[in-house]
Amino acid sequence: MAEFTGARVSLMLHLSAYLMQACEDLPHTPSGVLYARFLAWPRSAAQRAK
């Protein structure tokens, strides 16, 4: 995670790639669950930091 300090867009792109892989690997898992696991937490963490 340290390599993405100050590079939020890069972090989100990196996590998005993992989300796509997870969607392929876990086709029966609801997409909302995977979204929350991969992409929702950085946004909520950023808002908490403000």
Read off the pLDDT of residues 2-44 as tens digits, 9 standing for 90 and up. 888 888 899 999 999 999 999 999 999 999 999 999 999 877 7
- The pTM assigned to this predicted structure is 0.77
DSSP letters along 2-39, please? GGGTT-HHHHHHHHHHHHHHHHHH-TTS-HHHHHIIII
Nearest to 19 by CA among 30, 4, 32, 35: 35
Range of the domain at 10: 2-49
Amino acid code (one letter) for 24: E
Structural domain count of the chain: 1
